[in-house]
Structure 1
Amino acid sequence: MEFKENSIQYEVVLRDPQSVLQKQLGNDLKVIDFKTKTFLQLGDNYGSTILDVQVKIKRKNDAEEEKLDLVAKMLPPTEFQRIFFETQISFKKEIFVYENLIPTYCSLYNGVFDITPKLYGSRISITADVDEVENDAVILMENLKVKGYCMEDRHKGLSLAHIKMTILSLAKFHAIGLSIKHKKRSYLPTLQRYMKPMIIINDVMKPFITNVLDVIQADPDLKQYYDRIKRTGNFENISDTYYNSLNVEHPWACAVHSDLWVNNVLFYRNKLEGQNVAKFIDFQMSYISSPLSDLIFFLCISMERSLSHIDEMIELYRLQIIDISKELGCAVEQFSKEKFDERLKIDAANELYHILLMLKVVELPKNEQIETSLLNDNCIFRLKNIIRIYTDKNWI
């Protein structure tokens, strides 16, 4: 995926990691040396610059030298990307998730809740007392790949085992989020302040949606559903319905990831230790909505293209969120099969434009641009399976 060539380009370089690390590891820490290199292949991350960082440190003057393997998340390199991804808002929001939201969730839940990389520090500017997100903004996290975590192939989709691992972690994330209304109501204004949805630029997004809708209208198998699909969102003003915010007081409201797909989940499997772990990254699009919007987006975009086992995975999620809610001492009536399915129908329809847009991203061949790439056979195959499920379940 590439962006407009005439957009202003910035040099994004990690400077002074010591001041960032000292926030987490103490003021005595000294950086002896550090080096960086590109962490991801072109096309694996669209809204950020991601660097592999190796840092040599001493925690005190007389301490042994240590090496830290880190990842630096920084601003994207073009002005267009910074406007498109609203980095003045989204970067602060992601820092909030790692520094505030996740620790708050951990304080509310007595069980194991370890779904994000360890944070090593962050800043929005290298200049003190600046409230604007500047070019040196950075989030430093542990490098999960060095620890044996891996990212799966977005073109193949996730195996059933990986889907299950993700569903169990996602349901836990949502259950704890929903519990805040009952266990820590004083935190709700903070959530409302930081967890706002991105503003969608109609002129940018509409051509992508139009491209998919045109394929649907021209396809012999799908054209009968064209009007129903188009009506699930406000086509003339996509920003009205692309994200579906809920007030924090709404019974179904919690923090949602909003961009949970293959590229934003890393997996660790150790059969000898019996460990199966899924960790989530990239929270810049998170906001307050229904958890089932996360669920249906993840399944439609991240499963193998046939989308077989989708019913089984939806039920696994429902049972897991019931179990975790009970552990948290919260009522579970809203997760009865009937009420759950009622809400899922609403959220599935609301989420369809988001899913349609991501289809091209998931199936985009290497070295092609999303603006000019056509929907390929893999994309259309996944699209047909999604629409089949939506119509069979009367979601549209």
Structure 2
Amino acid sequence: MLRDLQDLLRKKLGDGLVVDDFKTEKLLPPGENYASTIIKVDAVVRRNEKADKEVLHAIAKMAPPSVYGREMYQSPLTFRKEIGVYEHILEAYKQLELESGFKEDETFDIGPKYYGSRLSLDPNAEFDDDAAILLENLMVRGYSCGVRSVGYDLDKTKLILKSLARFHALGIALKWKKPEEFEKLKIFMKPVDLKLDGSMMNSLKYMVEKIATDSVIGKYASKIYALNFEDLFDTLMAEPEEPWGTIVHYDFWVNNVMLHVDENSKPDDVKFVDFQMYMYLSPMRDLIFFLFTSLDGDARKDIDELIDFYYESFLAVLARMECDVTKFPREVLDKHLIEDARLELLHCLIMMKILTLDVDGEDKTNPSGILEYGGNELYVIRLREIMLYYVEKGWL
């Protein structure tokens, strides 16, 4: 239940704001969001007592309903991280661009409008049921996510990658131009405490067995067996090699990107959502994860060209921000691709389960059951694609 909406909105929209009425309902079906409860909020508001009424369309991100879910997704930390993006990091990027000569309407407007947040109504509580992050409901303006089991086509993928490159490059530009400010922002980049527990290990073992017994990729199972899962897991959050380190989303897949299309059904704008996992890593981590989880079948045929496109977009932003692009040679990017692809392999393989789940069928998920899910035919097809590409590129 969303309580005291007026007080929450006043933090961002001013003390004079009046909420005359509001209604809420669940925004997403079960199985479409795992780390929070998301509700739609339609509020009748006035900017002050004498102002005309207007309707505010928002969504409220609230804590998972179960204690298990809050512990699994480390809600007190992830909520603070997401608040940090809207209140500090995206604002820092905007200010940096303005100081670099960008006009207001040229700045990087990559997130939904932020209407306020809280961790509790109790000033003595760290986090409880009243925690909420209030954001613009982008769907009202025509934005939508792709179908997770299908992914984005080539045109949409290019628009997304151009924005992802800008997101990464602005982090590097801020680090170079305002190092003291960037260091202060690192408090929000604290990684979640990922653990290779029994459920995770069993899930990984199951995937290896699935690969080993497959008629197409079984012959490559030895390459997976050669990976030390414990060592890989221990290096997932290792500091990136400089100067490539930047703020990465680290949960960058089809459900966390929303697109707007014009009257000709051509994509013309993109928004990123769910900034709960971001941290300071190599930008290749986001790139690889997105390319292997969020493209449709035709776009996945052009992964090599899309990597080139991302790199060119990345350099273009750095150049406009007057950063030394010679510090980012292509041969070093290719080296990072190999290293980061190995780190992201487990991430991608586990994500394949979520991508191929049938949220309306018998494999509807819950926080405790995601890792135990056995997979379906589409899951096997996607496993094959990833493995064959990795083998072709020598990433295993």
In the superposition, the TM-score normalised over structure 2's length comes to: 0.91
- Per-residue deviation, 1:312: 1.2
Give the corresponding residue for 2:130: 136
Q: Which residue of 349, 355, 358 maps to 1:356? A: 349
Other-structure match for 2:15? 27
- Equivalences for 1:255-270 in 2 at 5 Å? 255-270=247-262
Change (3 A) 1:238 1:83: farther
| Residues 189-212 of structure 1 deviation map (CA, whole Å, 9 limit, x = unaligned) | 223322122112322322222221
Contact kept in structure 2, 1:29 and 1:60, CA below 8 Å: yes
Give secondary structure in 1 for the equivalent of 2:358: coil
Asked if 1:179 corresponds to 2:173, the answer is yes
User: 1:372 deviation in Å?
Assistant: 4.5
Distance in 2 (CA, whole Å) between partners of 1:183 and 1:16 is 41
Q: 2:281 aligns with which of 264, 275, 289?
A: 289
Query: SS in structure 2 opposite 1:309?
Result: helix
CA offsets 1:128-177 (integer angstroms, 9 cap, x no match): 354x1221110000000000111111111111111111101100000001
Distance 1:244 1:230, change over 3 A: farther
Identity level (%): 38
Rate the CA distance shift 1:157–1:218 in 2: closer, same or farther, 3 A.
same
1:151-170 mapped onto 2 (5 Å cutoff):
151-170=145-164
Output the aligned Cα RMSD.
1.9
**Shift of residue 237, structure 1, vs aligned partner:** 6.6
Verify: 1:229 aligned to 2:224, yes or no.
yes
1:175 match: secondary structure: helix
* Matches of 1:221 and 1:197, distance apart in 2: 37
Tell me what 1:71 maps to.
Answer: 59
Q: For residues 241-279 of structure 1, what are the alpha-carbon distances to aligned partners after superposition, in whole Å with 9 as ceiling and x for unaligned? A: 4x33326x8311111111111111110011479871111
TM-fit CA distance, 1:387: 1.2
The code of the aligned residue for 2:121 comes to: I
Aligned to 1:204: 199
Q: Please list every run of 5 or more consecutive structure 2 residues that lacks an aligned counterpart in the other structure.
A: none
1:46 aligned onto 2:34 = yes
Pairing 1:56–2:56 present:
no
Find the partner of 1:36 among 16, 24, 33. 24
8 A Cα contact 2:116 2:134, kept in partner:
yes
Q: Is the 8 A contact 1:257 1:287 kept in 2?
A: yes
Contact 2:21 2:44 in 1 (8 A): yes
Name structure 1 gaps, 5 residues minimum: 1-12
- Of 286, 294, 302, the residue aligned with 1:309 is 302
Looking at structure 2, the residues matched to 41 and 62 of structure 1 have their Cα atoms a distance apart, in angstroms, of 39
Query: Is structure 2 residue 124 aligned with structure 1 residue 124?
Result: no
Looking at structure 1, the residues matched to 336 and 232 of structure 2 have their Cα atoms a distance apart, in angstroms, of: 22
Distance 1:230 1:135 in 2: 43
Identify the residue that residue 386 of structure 2 maps to in structure 1: 386
C-alpha distance in 2 between matches for 1:82 and 1:316: 38
Q: CA deviation at 1:37?
A: 0.1
Distance 1:230 1:118 in 2: 46
Q: CA deviation at 1:38?
A: 0.2
